[in-house]
Amino acid sequence: MSVDAFARTVWDYHQLNHPLQPAECIIVLGSHDTRVAERGAEVFLGGWAPLIVFSGNLGALTSGMWQRPEAEIFADVAVGKGVPRERILIESRSTNTGENVDLSRALLEQKGIHPRRVIAVQKPYMERRTWATFRKRWPEVEVLVTSPQLDFDAYPQGAITRDDVIHIMVGDLQRILIYAEKGWQVPQDVPAHVLRAYEGLIEAGYTGRLITP
């Protein structure tokens, strides 16, 4: 198989394609990609939940891009799309996915909000990892995950190239495998053809986001 075929296989695996259902709140996880904020606004304006939480401080990519937390930048994007400021909560301390979950949950509890279902909004290639983190750290809540409605060809944008996306996807799949073993996410089945694609991309040199187990 080609690098392109391997990459599409891994991309497809990362996406869960959950159908939206009404929820008590939307939790948008911060990153460099403001299209995630736009998707969060789209879900809110679609009437799927009455409240939206933006979560995130600055991360590896955004610390050199922005002077303000990702959550604040994302909230401004959402307001620009028509989300009322009074329907927004901001969690601006988290620096990883586990903290996104834990600190958003704590913020909601401080407000007396105890949701039974939440809609998490993330980048397309982080849907599965996000779902697994929520299930581990907040198991009593049903989580649906959505992302910008873009395919593999349309997703790369600006400074984030196609090769960058492949490096990141490979790293995220490695984390799905490793983090379950560490107890940070629920375990997930990775089909043999997805593992072959993952290994093929590593052999092709897409190792820029791998971590030492």
pLDDT digits (tens, 9 = 90+) for 99-145: 999 999 999 999 999 999 999 999 999 999 999 999 999 999 999 99
Per the prediction, the chain carries an average pLDDT of: 95
Distance CA 135, CA 137 (A): 6
87: helix, strand or coil: helix
Q: Is the pLDDT of residue 8 over 70?
A: yes
Category of 163 on φ-ψ map: left (φ > 0), alpha (ψ -120 to 50) or beta: alpha
Q: Please give the model's pTM, rounded to 2 decimal places.
A: 0.94
Q: Supply the pLDDT for residue 87.
A: 98
Domains belonging to the chain, first-starting first, are 3-203 (3.40.50.620)
The candidate with the shortest Cα–Cα distance to 170, out of 113, 208, 141, 117, is 208
